[in-house]
Amino acid sequence: MELAFVGRLLAACVVIGLVLAAVQLVARRLLRVRLEGGGGRLVTLLETTYLPGAASVHVVRVADRYYVIGRGGGEIAPLCEIPADRVAAHMAATASEVGPLRALSRRLRHRSG
Protein backbone atom coordinates (compact mmCIF):
# COMPACT_ATOMS: atom_id res chain seq x y z
CA MET A 1 0.00 0.00 0.00
CA GLU A 2 2.75 2.46 0.91
CA LEU A 3 4.65 1.58 -2.27
CA ALA A 4 1.63 2.44 -4.41
CA PHE A 5 1.28 5.79 -2.61
CA VAL A 6 4.95 6.61 -3.12
CA GLY A 7 4.66 5.66 -6.80
CA ARG A 8 1.66 7.94 -7.28
CA LEU A 9 3.38 10.75 -5.40
CA LEU A 10 6.47 10.38 -7.56
CA ALA A 11 4.37 10.35 -10.74
CA ALA A 12 2.53 13.49 -9.60
CA CYS A 13 5.85 15.26 -8.93
CA VAL A 14 7.12 14.34 -12.40
CA VAL A 15 3.94 15.64 -14.03
CA ILE A 16 4.10 18.89 -12.04
CA GLY A 17 7.77 19.30 -13.02
CA LEU A 18 6.97 18.79 -16.70
CA VAL A 19 4.11 21.29 -16.55
CA LEU A 20 6.36 23.89 -14.87
CA ALA A 21 9.10 23.30 -17.46
CA ALA A 22 6.59 23.77 -20.29
CA VAL A 23 5.26 26.98 -18.72
CA GLN A 24 8.81 28.31 -18.34
CA LEU A 25 9.65 27.47 -21.97
CA VAL A 26 6.54 29.20 -23.28
CA ALA A 27 7.16 32.24 -21.08
CA ARG A 28 10.76 32.55 -22.32
CA ARG A 29 9.73 32.35 -25.96
CA LEU A 30 6.96 34.89 -25.52
CA LEU A 31 9.30 37.25 -23.67
CA ARG A 32 12.01 36.87 -26.33
CA VAL A 33 9.59 37.69 -29.14
CA ARG A 34 8.30 40.66 -27.17
CA LEU A 35 11.78 42.02 -26.43
CA GLU A 36 13.06 41.47 -29.97
CA GLY A 37 10.09 43.18 -31.52
CA GLY A 38 8.57 40.16 -33.21
CA GLY A 39 11.65 38.16 -34.10
CA GLY A 40 14.34 40.63 -35.17
CA ARG A 41 16.44 42.82 -32.90
CA LEU A 42 16.24 46.55 -33.36
CA VAL A 43 19.64 47.23 -31.76
CA THR A 44 22.63 44.91 -32.30
CA LEU A 45 26.21 45.26 -31.08
CA LEU A 46 28.35 44.21 -34.03
CA GLU A 47 31.87 44.72 -32.79
CA THR A 48 33.80 46.07 -29.79
CA THR A 49 37.41 47.17 -29.52
CA TYR A 50 38.83 47.83 -26.07
CA LEU A 51 41.29 50.68 -25.68
CA PRO A 52 43.70 51.55 -22.87
CA GLY A 53 42.30 53.41 -19.89
CA ALA A 54 38.99 51.50 -19.66
CA ALA A 55 37.80 53.02 -22.94
CA SER A 56 36.18 51.19 -25.83
CA VAL A 57 34.79 51.74 -29.31
CA HIS A 58 31.63 49.93 -30.47
CA VAL A 59 29.95 49.44 -33.83
CA VAL A 60 26.19 49.29 -33.32
CA ARG A 61 23.38 48.61 -35.75
CA VAL A 62 20.10 50.39 -35.03
CA ALA A 63 17.41 49.24 -37.46
CA ASP A 64 19.18 49.66 -40.84
CA ARG A 65 21.75 52.28 -39.77
CA TYR A 66 25.24 51.75 -38.35
CA TYR A 67 26.96 53.91 -35.75
CA VAL A 68 30.35 54.06 -34.06
CA ILE A 69 30.10 54.99 -30.41
CA GLY A 70 32.84 55.55 -27.86
CA ARG A 71 32.82 54.77 -24.19
CA GLY A 72 35.27 56.09 -21.64
CA GLY A 73 35.45 58.08 -18.46
CA GLY A 74 31.97 56.91 -17.52
CA GLU A 75 30.38 58.45 -20.60
CA ILE A 76 29.13 57.23 -23.97
CA ALA A 77 29.43 59.44 -27.04
CA PRO A 78 28.39 59.00 -30.67
CA LEU A 79 31.44 59.25 -32.94
CA CYS A 80 30.04 58.82 -36.44
CA GLU A 81 27.60 57.00 -38.69
CA ILE A 82 28.90 54.41 -41.15
CA PRO A 83 27.22 53.84 -44.53
CA ALA A 84 25.54 50.42 -44.67
CA ASP A 85 27.39 49.39 -47.85
CA ARG A 86 30.77 49.96 -46.12
CA VAL A 87 29.74 47.79 -43.18
CA ALA A 88 28.52 44.99 -45.46
CA ALA A 89 31.79 45.08 -47.45
CA HIS A 90 33.87 44.99 -44.26
CA MET A 91 31.88 42.13 -42.78
CA ALA A 92 32.23 40.11 -45.99
CA ALA A 93 36.00 40.73 -46.07
CA THR A 94 36.35 39.88 -42.40
CA ALA A 95 34.38 36.66 -42.82
CA SER A 96 36.72 35.50 -45.58
CA GLU A 97 39.81 36.44 -43.53
CA VAL A 98 38.91 34.67 -40.31
CA GLY A 99 37.40 31.58 -41.87
CA PRO A 100 33.89 30.26 -41.90
CA LEU A 101 33.85 28.77 -38.38
CA ARG A 102 34.99 31.94 -36.68
CA ALA A 103 32.57 34.03 -38.73
CA LEU A 104 29.74 31.71 -37.76
CA SER A 105 30.80 31.91 -34.13
CA ARG A 106 30.77 35.70 -34.32
CA ARG A 107 27.30 35.77 -35.88
CA LEU A 108 25.91 33.39 -33.30
CA ARG A 109 27.46 35.37 -30.46
CA HIS A 110 25.95 38.62 -31.75
CA ARG A 111 22.54 37.03 -32.28
CA SER A 112 22.33 35.77 -28.73
CA GLY A 113 23.74 38.95 -27.06
Q: Write the burial class of residue 20 (CB in 10 Å: 0-12 exposed, 13-18 middle, 19+ buried).
A: exposed
Model pLDDT, residue 102: 57
Ranges of beta strands (E only) in 22-90 are: 43-51, 55-62, 65-72, 75-82
Question: What domain count does the chain have?
Answer: 2
The pLDDT of residue 56:
92
**29 with 82, same domain?**
no
Nearby residues of 84 by Cβ (< 8 Å), 6 or more positions away: 64, 65, 66
Angle of helix 100-112 relative to helix 84-98, nearest 10 degrees, comes to 130
Q: Is the same domain home to 21 and 50?
A: no
Mark whether 51 and 93 lie in a shared domain.
Answer: yes
pLDDT below 50 — which residues of the chain?
A: 34-38
Tell me the whole-structure pTM to 2 decimals. 0.49
Quote the domain boundaries for residue 98.
43-112
Q: Are residues 61 and 103 in the same domain?
A: yes
58 close to 71: Cβ distance less than 8 angstroms: yes
Position 80 scores a pLDDT of 92
pLDDT, tens digit, 9 for 90 and up, residues 8-40: 888 999 999 898 888 887 777 766 554 444 456
Whether residue 103 is found in the same domain as residue 67: yes
Q: What was the pLDDT predicted at 96?
A: 61
91 and 106 inside one domain: yes
